[in-house]
Amino acid sequence: MNLASAGREYAHFPVSLDTGATLDASFDGGITWVTLERPSTTEARVLVAGPDAVQNPNGTVVLKTGRNPIAVRLVAGQESVIRAAGSIFVTSVNGL
């Protein structure tokens, strides 16, 4: 996914399970985690924004300029499964 530094949009993740498990995402190497929204049984999402976006709604994940690797974590029972899930590239508006 590519995102302008002043942009804001949902990052979508396909989901193939319908359980009470918690799905989280990290954009900083697992230092912090944000719970993904589940608008349907086949999708999870989180609102992300570039560092120059303004008036971000509560819960928006503000990313740094450059490559932001994504890790997704599934927590179910005793398991905490973490997988790489791509990257979001944030570019300056002048770089578009």
Cα 70 from Cα 25, distance rounded (Å): 7
Q: pLDDT digits over 3-45, tens only?
A: 999 999 999 998 887 666 789 999 999 999 999 998 888 889 9
Residue with token string 């303004």? 54
Q: What are phi and psi of 12, to 5 degrees?
A: -105, 145
**The pLDDT of residue 19:** 67
| C-alpha dihedral sign at 6, 54, 13, 28 | positive
**The pLDDT of residue 68:** 97
Cα 76 from Cα 69, distance rounded (Å): 23
Q: pLDDT digits over 52-91, tens only?
A: 999 999 999 999 999 999 999 998 888 889 999 999 999 9
Q: What is the CATH number of domain 2-95?
A: 2.60.40
Which residues sit opposite 73 in a β-bridge? 24, 82
Secondary structure letter of residue 20 according to DSSP: S
Tokens of 18: 């319908």
Domain ranges of the chain: 2-95
**The pLDDT of residue 18:** 64
**The pLDDT of residue 72:** 95
pLDDT reading at 94 higher than 80: no
Secondary structure letter of residue 4 according to DSSP: E
